[in-house]
Structure 1
């Protein structure tokens, strides 16, 4: 498999080692937490905007 070449439709990637999978899982969890925090901040900003700028 070449790095820049996409996989064929039916092709599967070889399974990653356990340590690599653990790293992938931890990375996904951290990205999820960051996304949740940013979403909460955006919701708070939207509420503040509606309170101080009711015409918009």
Structure 2
């Protein structure tokens, strides 16, 4: 799985933004994006974050 458009965000910027987010569901979304950008597979991310693999793929 790859990110097709990063909208100009770098890993460092996303990590800093992740720390500022107060809403837990949004933190999980940003964490998914970070892990994909770092090269993790959807199956690995789903196990790490305890979500269904389809949640990550869509």
What TM-score do the two structures reach when normalised by structure 2?
0.30
What TM-score do the two structures reach when normalised by structure 1?
0.31
